[in-house]
Structure formats: C-alpha cells, structure tokens
A and B are shown apart, each in its own frame.
Chain A
Amino acid sequence: MNTKYRVPILAFLCCIIFCMLACPMCAAPYEDIPQTTEEIHAASQEILRSEILQYCSANYLKEDINHLSADQLAEAINYYPEYPRQITDSTGTVVTIVKPLKRIVAYNFHAMGALDAEDLVVGVANSALQDGCVVSAIYDKVNIGGGGPYEPDFELILSCKPDALLTYTELGPGKDFFEDRMPAGVPVIRLDCIRPWSLVTEMNKLGYLVERTERSTAYEEWHTRWMDEIDRRLATIPDDKKMRVFVDIWSTSFTDRSNERRTAGGGQWYSYGIYATDGGGINVAEDLTNPQGTVDIEWLAQQDPDVILGVSYTGSYDSDDMSELSTQHDELLSHPALQEVPAVKNKRIYILSYRYTNGLTYPAARARVAKWLYPWLFADIDPSAIHQEYLTQFLGSSYDVTEHGVFSYPD
C-alpha cells in the first residue's frame, strides 16, 4: 500500500471503530427498573454491594465520595433483600431508599393515587385538593400549601415528620427550598409523571420505591395497550394526508395582544408540539426556534393549518364550567385575521385542558386528539371511556367524566 494513504486510512478505521464503540452511548438510555420480586432482590444486592464499597472506600481509603451512613446501611441490611432500593430521578439524581417509606410529603401527589399509595402520604400541596372529588383520601392529608406560583409552608412539611418528599423536576420550589433544607436522610424525589414520553418510566420508578410495582405494571399495560392501538391506526395515514396542526398554548392568558399567539416548536414548552405529532398531525411550528414561542397572527394565517389545537392551563375535575376552555376556542374562531384559515373556516378548533394532557390520563387525551384529527379512523373509540377506565381502574373512583369536569372542548 502506498504510504501516503496509510495515515488517512488508519484515521478512517479509527473513526469507524470509535463510532461502533460509541453507538451504545448514543442510544437512548435503557433503565432497567426492577418490578418483580426476583428483580428487586437482585437489584438490592447490587445496590448494597456498591454502597458497602463506597462506604469502605470513604472510611478506609479516605476517598471523598458520597456514601450512605453506617446507620443507613444498618437499616438497609435490616430490610435486605427488599432494600436498599435506588433510582435515578428525573433530574438525574440518584435516590437511595433504605427502608419502606411510610410518611411521604407528596408535593406532587397524583401518581400516588394511581399507585394506590395514598396511605403512605402525610402531606399534599394545596393544589392537589382540587382532585379530592376523585381521590377523597386527599382531604385527610396535611395541606402544606403551595401550588402554582406559591411556595409551600416548610414548617408544615417538617411537622409531617416526612421520610421522603416527592415533587416535580421544575414545577414548584427548587433545590434551595427542598433539598438544601430537608433533614439529613430524608430524600427529595423528583418525578413528574406529567410528560407523555416519561409517564411509564416514572410510574415504574415510583412504584418500585413505594412497593407498588403491581400497580405500576398494571398502569404500563393499560398505557401500552391504548398507545399501541392509537399507533396502529395512525400508521395507516400517508404522510401527504396528515393534518397540519397549529398548537395554541394558553395564548388567551399569555398575551393581551390580539395580533400574537403562543405556540411550541420542537423541544419547546415541555414539547407541547407533541400533542399535534402524537395525534398523527404535522406541527406547523415544528421548526420554530423563538424561545418564547410567540408568533404573529399573520404568520399563523400563512401556515394554513387544517386544525388548531389549543392547550389551556385551566380545567379540572372539580369544575363544570366549560367557559374556561370555550373562551380560547371562541377567540380563535372569531379572530378577523384567521377567517380564511382552513381550521377556522371548517370549525376545526379544539381545546385541551392541561389537566387532561399533562398526566397519567394522556392515552385518553391522545385518543381525543387523534379522533379530532381523523374521526373516521377512531369512530369506534370513545376517549371519554378511556378516561373513565383510568379513573375506575387506577383511582377506584365513581366520578363520571361524561357528567362532570372540564377536560376538552367542544367535546
């Protein structure tokens, strides 16, 4: 071989080998969350070994590493092989539990209800009380305040003598309020259970931590069954027949200017654009990079969307006032600049409550959007029945979603 080609060829081969080696790292991280008894026992052995090595490394090798205390290890050994349990929460923090949790302050409560773990909760955020009509056990908990822009009462949290605090990754107080102030040994667990793509993973993690893996497995089965069914039907839509959708995010409250709306490009605003694409549509603002997500009304008119899908930060189980959603609908329908837009001309404007989309009821909300976009494909599927199935099966509630609540508009 000519020597002048050797270096480039070697470099090329090195690159190929590097890429092959790097491939597993590029792939989405697979998190093996223990669910069966055998998996839990195997995991606890692995975790305990690792924690013992870290403890000994700190104490005998004087390494500066995070490790469980001798008391925590003694607790974990006392409950072995059920404990220790360990997850990486949604902020990437490793959370280790050394004994059964019995006094959780759930600033984020809703998943605890679905896991039938209300009995482990001692305190909830004020905002959780609006779900009391569905999960009555909430009324028996200490109201720690907070919710929305308000901070909870930290003294009330401490008075609950919690053994863990469950909260969101970004909603509500941050590290300086919770992690930095909680007593030593009381973990802060940040799992949202509100984003469509991480519902199952987070439910499985939480189910594992609170000894409710049967429930989290049941949720995964229910979630997968509906998501697969929707996928199967949407797969029959050719790309050139897909609906062009504009996602209108709470614009009514966000801006007083009538010539401006707020939307979501790929990866913005908790990827609200996923409600369009997951429903089988094309997000007309997919390539938008404006961090605020604001667009001029003329820009919207130029996109000629077939459907406008509104997302509203209103709606709940404890309200029957549909005007919370219809205001946004009517505003879009009557906007002078949008009168030639197909979505307006054909009255294909739909509004979703965030309480419906941002949570464990997502398969029902997704079915609702898919049916709005392609009614002929989903004629035999009733999204309200899916929603009702969730309430009955996972919350054990007799609440009737066809009679009460504000979830979507106009149907």
Chain B
Amino acid sequence: MCRNFCMVFYRRTFALISCFTCLIILMCPVTADGQQITRVVSPESPASGGLVTVTLTMPPSFFGGVIEIIPEGFIFEGTSHPSDAVKKAGQTVIFAVTGEDEINYTIRMPDSGCGYLNGNWENLGEKTSGTIPTTLLSTPGADTSKCTGVKQSPGFLLYTAIFAVCLAAGCAIMRRWRR
C-alpha cells in the first residue's frame, strides 16, 4: 500500500511539474532572450490636447520593423526617426529599424478620452516577432473603463489563456491526488 501511494504520488507530482514546465517554456518568447521592445511615454499624465513623447527602446542589433497602432482620437504628430524609415497609414505607424536603439515620436492627446497604444515588432535578422506591452494614454479625469484600442496584446492574451488551462489542469490533478 505504501508502495502504491508512493507510485501515485510520484506520477501526479510528475504531471504537475510537467504542466508548469510547459507553461514556462511557452511564456519564454515574450519575456526572455533580450528581444523585448519597451515603450515609455512622457509625461505619464498628459494634459488634454497636449503632446506626449513616446520612446521605444530596442535591443542591440535590432533589424526589422516596429508597428505602432495609435488609438482613435489620438494624433501622430511626428518623429525624429529618419523620414525614409517611417510609414504612416491611418492610425498605424511603421518604423523600419536598421540598428538604431531608440525611436522617439510624439502624439497629440484628444481634449478628453483615453486609449491604449499597441505595438508589434518583427526582428527580420533573427526571424522573431512579438508584441510590445500596451500603454494606456488618458486625459485627466477620463473614464478608463471605456478606452479605445486593445487593452492587452494578443500575445499576452494567448499566454494568459494557456496559463489558465494549465492552472485548471493542475488543480484537477491536485484534487484527484487528495482523494
């Protein structure tokens, strides 16, 4: 009986560890290998109709594209990035990056409202791609529950879903093991 208990304990623990290992591996592309592009806005609390400077920081030797999607009602005002490396189409701005480590651009805030800045990147030299964590832009007093733009990047949603599935599976295994 003692031997049986040890076998069951061993199998379920192994399944549990495997689940979390899978989860960690799946989350790796988002958080590891120095590929992440960060976005910082300044000022953090912009005035209505004021300008916001957005700074994107790339990892070293990044060659590829950065695609920023500006929420409706917000206006792309310009960038210090070379003009032959920028393309604007509607609310989407594409930056071609050939080794630069930083991109600065400015957005004009609406008189009132809020929205999420979304972004994607594609490192064409290393054939990797991903999303830039969303950034909330809000005028003073705006109702942030009704912001335009997507709150979370598709990549984050995907990994959250995987995490939820793994967590549920883990819980089920734990319950069966306790019986």
Contacts and interface: CB of A to CB of B under 8 A. Distances in A.
Interface of A: 45-46, 48-50, 52-53, 55-57, 59-61, 63, 70, 73-74, 77-78, 80
Given A60-B92, A74-B125, A49 B98 contact: yes
A74 B65 CA distance: 12
A74 B94 contact: no
B94 A53 contact: yes
B165 interface: no
Contact of B87 (A46, A53, A74, A80): A53
Contacts of A45: 98
Contact of B127 (A53, A70, A80): A70
Given A48-B96, A77-B125, 17 more contacts: A49-B84, A49-B96, A50-B96, A52-B96, A52-B98, A53-B85, A53-B94, A55-B124, A56-B87, A57-B89, A57-B94, A59-B122, A60-B94, A70-B124, A73-B124, A74-B127, A77-B63
A18 to B, nearest CB: 26
Contacts of B67: 56, 60
B58 interface: no
Nearest to B127: A74
Contacts of A77: 63, 124-125
B63 A80 contact: yes
A74 B125 CA distance: 5
A107 B65 CA distance: 38
A78 B123 CA distance: 12
A53 B89 CA distance: 11
Given A56-B65, A77-B63, A61 B89 contact: yes
A316 B87 CA distance: 53
A55 B98 CA distance: 14
B82 interface: yes
B86 to A, nearest CB: 8
Contacts of B120: 60
Nearest to A51: B96
B63 to A, nearest CB: 4
B66 to A, nearest CB: 9
Interface residues of B, number: 21
B117 interface: no
Nearest to B64: A52
Highest count of chain A CB atoms <10 Å: which of B84, B92, B124: B124
A78 B126 CA distance: 9
Interface string B34-77: 00000000000000000000000000000111010000000000
Contacts of B132: none
B67 to A, nearest CB: 5
Contacts of B137: none
B109 interface: no
Given A60-B94, A61-B92, A77-B63, A52 B84 contact: no
Contacts of B86: 53
Given A45-B98, A80-B63, A80-B98, A52 B92 contact: no
Nearest to B87: A53
23 contacts: A45-B98, A49-B85, A50-B96, A52-B63, A52-B97, A53-B65, A53-B85, A53-B96, A55-B65, A55-B124, A56-B67, A56-B87, A56-B96, A57-B87, A57-B94, A61-B89, A61-B94, A63-B89, A70-B124, A74-B124, A77-B63, A78-B125, A80-B98
B113 to A, nearest CB: 25
Interface string B162-174: 0000000000000
A191 to B, nearest CB: 26
A78 B124 CA distance: 10
B94 A56 contact: yes
B89 A52 contact: no
A63 B98 CA distance: 22
Interface in B19-42: none
A61 B89 CA distance: 8
A49 B125 CA distance: 13
A55 B63 CA distance: 13
